Amino acid sequence: MCAEPPTQNGLFFGRFVEISGNRVIVGAPGFDAGGGLDNIGKAYLYQRGTSGWSEIRILKSSEAAIGDGAGSTLALRGTVAVLGVLADEESPELAQQGSVVFFADLPDPCEE
């Protein structure tokens, strides 16, 4: 199976990939959410099952902002995924300081 990203120019789907066991997380730091939210980014989590690969979750920052580039770095281990947000800005004084978002509630890969 070939994972099909959304049809969008500049998505950069697959530029950043992390594999752990029967799971893979694929970054798309160029994802645009529309309404002027350009390049906020996100990542797609896939799992290999008996019938092939399937998307099980989309990971994104709850505080996404223009140009964040979430999904430009990734980590995956067991039930935890980490999404790097390259250009996140927490305050005007700290331009593009970056941040990480933890997802610790992923389904246990041994139970699926």
Chain-centre distance for alpha carbon 19: 13
Place of tokens 């697959």: 14
The tens digit of pLDDT for each residue in 16-71 reads: 999 999 999 999 888 877 777 788 888 999 999 888 888 888 888 888 777 788 88
Mean pLDDT for the chain overall: 80
Q: Kindly provide the residue ranges of all beta strands, DSSP E only, lying in the chain, ordered along the sequence.
A: 17-20, 23-28, 42-49, 52-59, 70-77, 80-85, 99-103
Give residue 112's pLDDT: 47
The answer to whether the CB of 72 falls within 8 A of the CB of 89 is no
* Greatest extent of the chain over all pairs of C-alpha atoms, in Å: 50
For the cut 80, the answer to whether the pLDDT of residue 73 exceeds it is yes
Place of tokens 């690969």: 53
Share of the chain above pLDDT 90, in %: 19
Give residue 7's pLDDT: 66
Backbone angles phi, psi at 32, to 5 degrees: -105, 130
How many residues would you count in the chain?
112
